[in-house]
Structure 1
Amino acid sequence: MTNWKNYTRESRIAYFSMEIGLSADIPTYSGGLGILAGDTIKSAADLKLPMVAVTLASRKGYFRQVVDQEGWQKELPVDWKPESFMELLPTKVLVTIEERDVKVQAWLYRVKSPTGGEVPVLFLDTDIPGNVEQDRRITDHLYGGDLTYRLKQEIVLGIGGARALDALGFSIRKYHMNEGHASFLTLELLSRARRPIEETWDERAAWDTQHVLGQCVFTTHTPVEAGHDRFPYDMIQQIMGEPVPLTLLKELAGKNELNMTMLALNLSRYVNGVAKRHGEVSKSLFPGFEIHAITNGVHPFTWASPYFVTLFDKYIPSWAHEPELLVRVDNIPDEELWEAHCGAKAYLFQYIQETTGTEMDPDVLTIGFARRFATYKRGDLIFSDIERLTRMGEGKLQLVFGGKAHPKDIPGKQLIQKIIGQIKSLYPKIKIAYLENYNMDVAYRLLPGVDLWLNNPIRPLEASGTSGMKAALNGVPNFSVLDGWWIEGHIEGVTGWSIGPPPEKNPSQENHSDEDANDLYDKLENLIMPMFYHDREAWIRVMKNAIGKNAYYFNTHVMMRRYVTEAYIR
C-alpha cells in the first residue's frame, strides 16, 4: 500500500465538497452534488491529475429510506465504520467552536484508477475521545440538524479541512470549493496571509484578499436565491468568534447576514456554474461577478452497465479513458446494441420483482424517473391527466420511480405518497414501481434498464441534471424540459425529446404545468410510442445518438480537462 506521505511530494489541487459519493458502501452523499464529486475524483485519478479531496465522514450517512404501507417516507440512520474502508491518519487539528477547541481527525481513502493514477480523499471526523459529546456528533449526519449544526459542520469542513491539509504536509496550488459549504476555508487562508499591521498601518489592508483570490476556485450549483447557505452574524460570533474583523466579513459575505456563496464569490479568482444556462442564471442572481460555465459530466466506467461495458470494449477499445471515442458508436451493430439494452432491462426487472414483487413486461415501453423528491422537480407531472394517461398507456407504458425527500421536506414526502397511491389505483392497466432507498447501487440498475429517461423540473431550477447523462451513456434517450444540460445536449427527435416550449419562446421564469403536461402526453402518444413499437430501427438510431452525440461529451473526463485549462492553471 502506498505510504500516504507520498501524496505530499507534489503540489495538488484541493477539492472540497460537503458530500462525496464514491460507492454505496460509503454513504457520504445525498444526491447529485455528491455523485458529481465522486465522479470528478474518479476522472482526476484516470487522468492522473494531482488532486486531494476533502469531505466529512458523515458516520450515520444521509439516511436509509423506508416507505411504509401508507406511502410515507421514514428515515433510518446508516451506521458504517470508516475503519472498514479507510486508514486513520496520525495528525489531528483543532478548530474553535463556541470557544471550545474541537479536535478533528482525517481518514484516508484512496481512489485508484486502472491508468495508475491515485487521488487521496480525506474524510474529516470529530468523533474523538476528548471532544465533548455534542462536538463528537458534528460529523454524524449529512445535512442533519438545525442551522447551528450546519454552521459547525461547515467550520469543520472549511477551516478544519484547510488546517488538516497543512498539518499533513500537503502543498496546495489551488483550493476548489464544490458549492459554498466549504467557503470558510477562505477565512483560514486570509488569516494565514495577514500581514503585520505595522507594515501597512491599516487594519483593512493587513488582510490580503488578493492573495486568497489567486488561490481559490468556486463552483456554484444552486440556481435559486433561497438555496444558498446563510447564517445570522450573531450566530457566527457566538459559534466562531471573529476569525476576521466583522466589518471585513460583512464586506466579503453580505451586510445583513453571512452568505456562504457571496463569501466564495468575493474570494475566488475563477467562478463557474454547471451548465451554460445555469451560468447565465447565476449571473442574474449575483450581478457584478464574472461567472463562467463548465457543464457537469459523469464518470463513464462507473455508470455504464456491465452489458454496455462489454459492448464498448468490443467495438470501441479505450472508450473508458477516452470517452470522446464514443462518437464511433456506429461501429456497433444495431442488433448487438439492442441485445445489450435488453440485458440491462432484464437486470432491472429482476431487481424490481425481488424488491417490490411487481413483474414488469420486457416488451413494454418503460419510463424512468429518479432524483431527489423536491416539489420543483414535479415528479407527478405525468399523472396530470389520469384518464388520458390510462387511455394511451394501458398495456403500453410502465413507470419506474425512485428518490428520497429531505427529512424536513413535508411536500416532498407528500409527493412520494401521491405516487405510491397511483401504483395501487392504476394497476394493472399501467404497472408502476417505486424503488425504495435510491442510492448508487439502485441507480446503477435503474438508469440503464429503462427505455426512456424522464425529467420535468420547473425552469430554471435544474442547474445541470447528471442523471440524464448517465442514461444517455447507456443508450437511453432523454425526454426532458429544456433546462440544465439538456439545452446543450438536446436535438429534437435525434438525441431525445423536449417537454414544453424552447427557452427562447418561454422566459425561464414562466412555467405552466398544464402546457408541459399536454406536450408530454402529445409527444409520448404521437412520436415516442409509435417509434418504439413500430420503428425499431429509428429507435436504435436515437439510442446511438444519445451515446455518440451526448455521452461522448457530457462526461467528467471532458469536464476535468476544462477545469484544468480554464480554472486550475490560470
Structure 2
Amino acid sequence: MALTKPPLKDIAYFSMEIMLETHIPTYAGGLGVLAGDILRSCADMTVQAVGVSLIYNGHIFSQHILPDGSQTFHEVEWRKMDQLTKLTDRVTLTIRHEDVHVGVWRYDIVGLDGHVVPVYLLDTALPENSPWGQEISANLYADKGDLRLAQEIVLGIGGVKMLRKLGYTDIKTYHMNEGHCAFVPLALLEEHEYKDDQVRPLCTFTTHTPIPEGHDSFDYAFAHDIGEKYIPWHIKEIASKEKLHMTKLAMNLSKYSNAVSQKHAKVSSHIFPGFSISAIDNGVHHRTWLHPHLQDVYEQCVPGFLKDPGKFKKVAETVADDLLWNAHMHAKRELMSYVNTHVTDNAFDENVLTLALARRPVAYKRPLLLYHNVQKLLEVGEGKIQIIQCGKSFPYDQYSQDIVRQVVQLANQLKGKIRIVYLENYSPRVARFLVAGADIWLNAPMQPLEASGTSGMKAAINGVLNFSVPDGWWLEGYRMEPEAGFKIGEEISGLDAKFDNDLDSQALYSELGNVIIPMFYQDRVKWIHRMKRAIALGAYFNTHRCVREYTKQAWERQA
C-alpha cells in the first residue's frame, strides 16, 4: 500500500540497472554499479532522492571454467523475497496492444547516518499478465526488439506512473541514467498537456556510451506497434526524423545533458553535433569499495574521512609508509588466499608483483593486449609478475568465451614462467578482493572508447597503481597526479576509434619492464609514494563530489 504522505523527494533517479548488492541481479556492469554508488552517496549526504529500475526474473547463470578454457554454465536460483520487500501497488500499461500489469518491489539504501533512499523495482512477472507480458522483466537488456522496447516503456512510463501511485507527486527533477530511460519525459508530457517547455525543466540526462551503435533506436512503425499509446504526435521533432532515437529524445527533453569524463564529453559532442553535452566526471562510493582494514587506517589518520572523501588528499599526506604498506599486504594476502582456492598448483605468491585485469571480455576493451607478444612478455616478466584476470562471459556470447579460452590456454602455456589465472564469476564481491589486493590495475581499451572506467578509481583509493591508456578518467587522473600510476602510450589526436596493438603493446612492455618492475622490487619508498598519490585522487573521483556537481549543475539548474 502506498504511503499516505511519503517523504518529499527532490530527485527521481531512473536507470535500467542498479547494483544494490552483489547477489541481487539488477545490474550487468559499470552503468549499474555507478548508479548504485550515486544513490549510496545520496543516502550518505541525506539527499532527498528515490531510485527507479526493473527487477529481473529470468535465468541467472554461474560460470565454471574447465582446465582447457571451455566453460559450462549452471542456473542459479534467486528469490526476490530474500532481499526485497514486495509492495501491493499496481499500475497498468498498454504495450503491444495488450494490458501489461506492473508490480513493484522496494529496496532501501541506508546512509551513514540512517538516511534512506528507497529504490523501487518494477516487475511484470505477474500471473495476470500474458506469457509475453511476464517476459518483459525476465532478463536485463532483452535481446528481442519488442521486449527491449517494452522494457523501456515499463521503466519510463511505468516508473512515473508508479511513483504517482506511491504518492510521490512533487518530484523536482527526473534524472535519466542513459537513453533506456527516455520514456520518462513522454510520461511527463501526458501530465503537462504535451508541452515540451513544461517538461524540459524537469529532466536531466547522462550518457555513458561512446559508441554510436550503443545508443538504442527503433523504427517508427515498430515503435508505434509496441507503444503507440505513449508516442506523441510530434515524436519526430524530438527523437529524430529517421528513427525513435532514445538518446536524442532524452537530450531534447532535458534541461541538462552530461557525459561522464571530459574526453567522453568531446566524443559525445562529436557523435551528436548540435547538442550541448557537458561533463560530470564519474566517481566511486568510497565506503563500498575501500578495504575495511584501509578504512580503519585512513579514519585513524584523518578522523571524519568516512563522511568526507574530500579528505583523501589529507590521508595521503598523513598515513605512515609502514602503516600503508602493512595494510596493503593485509589486503593482498586476502586476495592471494582467494585466488589460490582457484588454482590447483603453482600457487600465487604475495611477494610477486601482481597485475589485475578485470573487464568485460569484449573487443574494444582489448583483454588480450598484454599477451600480444608472448615472447616479449616473457622477456620482461618471467618470474617477476603474476596475472589475475576476470570478466564474466555468458552462455550465448561466443566471442567472450573465446577470450576466456585463450587466456586459460596461455596460462597453461606459460606455467612455471608466469602465473596466470582467470577467475570465474566476476562480481562486485570478487572486485573488492582485486581492487584492494592487486599491485597494478591494468586497463588497455581502444581510444577513445573508455567513457570513464570507474574500476580504476576503486583501485586507486586502495593504493593500487593504475597502468592504463590515457583515456576516460585516467586521462584526467594522470594529469592531476602523474605519479599516481603509469600510462600506456599517448592520447590519440582524433575523436574516432583508433588502435595499434603492435605500438600499444610495445609501450606496455617497455613501461612494465623498464619502470614498473624495477621500482616495485628495488625502490619500495618510491612505490609507496606513488600509492599515496593514487589515494589522493579519491578526493576528486568519488560519488559524493558527483552528487554535489549533479545537484548544482543539473538537478537545481534553471532551464
2:86 aligned counterpart, secondary structure: strand
1:214 aligned counterpart, secondary structure: helix
Whole-Å separation in 1 of the counterparts to 2:4 and 2:440: 46
Among 272, 275, 297, the residue aligned to 2:283: 297
1:261-303 deviations in whole A, cap 9, x for unaligned? Answer: 1110111110000001101111111111111100000000000
How does 1:43-58 map onto structure 2 within 5 Å? 43-58=41-56
Counterpart code for 1:568:
W
1:472-492 deviations in whole A, cap 9, x for unaligned? Answer: 010001000011011110047
Among 123, 139, 142, the residue aligned to 2:140: 142
1:106 aligned counterpart, secondary structure: strand
Partner of 1:104: 102
Whole-Å separation in 1 of the counterparts to 2:108 and 2:52: 12
Report how far residue 78 of structure 1 moved: 4.0
Partner of 1:313: 299
Q: For the structure 1 residues 312 and 350, does the alpha-carbon distance in structure 2 shift closer, same or farther, using more than 3 Å as the test?
A: same
1:492-530 deviations in whole A, cap 9, x for unaligned? Answer: 7511111111345x7654321111110000000001111
Counterpart code for 1:234:
A
1:216-270 deviations in whole A, cap 9, x for unaligned? Answer: 0000000010000111222212211242345x11221122221111110111110
Counterpart code for 1:251:
E
How does 1:48-87 map onto structure 2 within 5 Å? 48-60=46-58, 63-87=61-85
The TM-score with structure 1 as length reference comes to 0.94
Q: For the structure 1 residues 62 and 263, does the alpha-carbon distance in structure 2 shift closer, same or farther, using more than 3 Å as the test?
A: farther
2:173 aligned counterpart, secondary structure: strand
Partner of 2:248: 262
RMSD: 1.7
Q: How many residues align?
A: 553
Report how far residue 379 of structure 1 moved: 0.5
Whole-Å separation in 2 of the counterparts to 1:339 and 1:478: 20
Partner of 2:409: 421
Q: Is the 8 A contact 1:61 1:142 kept in 2?
A: no
The TM-score with structure 2 as length reference comes to 0.96
Partner of 1:452: 440
Whole-Å separation in 1 of the counterparts to 2:80 and 2:296: 33
Report how far residue 406 of structure 1 moved: 5.4
Q: For the structure 1 residues 391 and 349, does the alpha-carbon distance in structure 2 shift closer, same or farther, using more than 3 Å as the test?
A: same
1:524-543 deviations in whole A, cap 9, x for unaligned? Answer: 00011110000000000000
Whole-Å separation in 2 of the counterparts to 1:221 and 1:290: 15
Partner of 2:237: 251
Q: Taking every aligned residue pair, what percent have the same amino acid on both sides?
A: 42
Q: For the structure 1 residues 564 and 503, does the alpha-carbon distance in structure 2 shift closer, same or farther, using more than 3 Å as the test?
A: same
Partner of 2:356: 368
Report how far residue 357 of structure 1 moved: 3.2
Among 326, 330, 347, the residue aligned to 2:334: 347
1:388-446 deviations in whole A, cap 9, x for unaligned? Answer: 11122111010001112355543232222211111111111000111111011110111
1:351-379 deviations in whole A, cap 9, x for unaligned? Answer: 11113335101111000010111110000
Q: Is the 8 A contact 2:386 2:419 kept in 1?
A: yes
Counterpart code for 1:132:
S
Q: For the structure 1 residues 143 and 288, does the alpha-carbon distance in structure 2 shift closer, same or farther, using more than 3 Å as the test?
A: same
Q: For the structure 1 residues 211 and 268, does the alpha-carbon distance in structure 2 shift closer, same or farther, using more than 3 Å as the test?
A: same
Whole-Å separation in 2 of the counterparts to 1:232 and 1:451: 48
Report how far residue 138 of structure 1 moved: 1.5
In the alignment, structure 2 segments of 5+ residues that lack a partner are: none
Whole-Å separation in 1 of the counterparts to 2:241 and 2:70: 41
Q: For the structure 1 residues 61 and 268, does the alpha-carbon distance in structure 2 shift closer, same or farther, using more than 3 Å as the test?
A: farther
Q: Is the 8 A contact 1:374 1:405 kept in 2?
A: no
Q: For the structure 1 residues 361 and 493, does the alpha-carbon distance in structure 2 shift closer, same or farther, using more than 3 Å as the test?
A: farther
Counterpart code for 1:346:
R
Partner of 1:199: none
Q: Is the 8 A contact 1:304 1:474 kept in 2?
A: yes
Q: Is the 8 A contact 1:375 1:415 kept in 2?
A: no
1:176 aligned counterpart, secondary structure: strand
Whole-Å separation in 2 of the counterparts to 1:157 and 1:407: 26
Partner of 2:209: 222
Partner of 1:381: 369
Counterpart code for 1:175:
Y
Partner of 2:190: 191
Q: Is the 8 A contact 1:28 1:62 kept in 2?
A: no
2:487 aligned counterpart, secondary structure: strand
Partner of 1:234: 221
Partner of 1:41: 39
1:22 aligns with 2:20: yes
In the alignment, structure 1 segments of 5+ residues that lack a partner are: 195-206
Counterpart code for 1:168:
L
Partner of 2:181: 182
Whole-Å separation in 2 of the counterparts to 1:557 and 1:7: 28
1:126-178 deviations in whole A, cap 9, x for unaligned? Answer: 11121112211211211233122211111111111111001111131110000
